């Protein structure tokens, strides 16, 4: 059984050009490019995120990522005896 997930993936750069990726699950598909730009600018302006490499200073990329997982069954089938 497939499992499909969606997430916003917002990528910023720090002052030293290190990428910072913010992943937000279950995005609203009605969000516009302008909404995403405004949200990213707000994150930068409020300095709401800090990582080891520093705080995000610029927008780099943004996308909705869809992932499909098709898991394998790793357990052995139960032996029901001679056929």
What pLDDT shows up at residue 76? 82
What residue ranges do the domains of the chain occupy? Answer: 3-69
DSSP per-residue letters across 32-61: -HHHHHHHHHHHHHHT---BTTB-EEEEEE
pLDDT per position as a tens digit, 26-52: 998 899 999 999 999 999 999 988 889
Helix, strand, or coil here: 68? strand
Strand partners, 5: 67
């Amino acid at each position: 059984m497939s499992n499909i997930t969606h997430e916003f993936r917002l990528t910023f750069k720090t002052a030293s050009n290190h990428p910072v990726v913010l992943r937000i699950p279950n995005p609203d598909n009605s969000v516009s490019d302008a909404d995403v730009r405004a949200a990213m600018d707000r994150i930068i302006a409020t300095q709401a995120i800090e990582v080891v490499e520093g705080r995000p200073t610029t927008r780099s990329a943004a996308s909705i990522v869809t992932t499909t997982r098709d898991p394998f069954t790793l357990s052995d089938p139960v032996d029901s005896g001679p056929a």
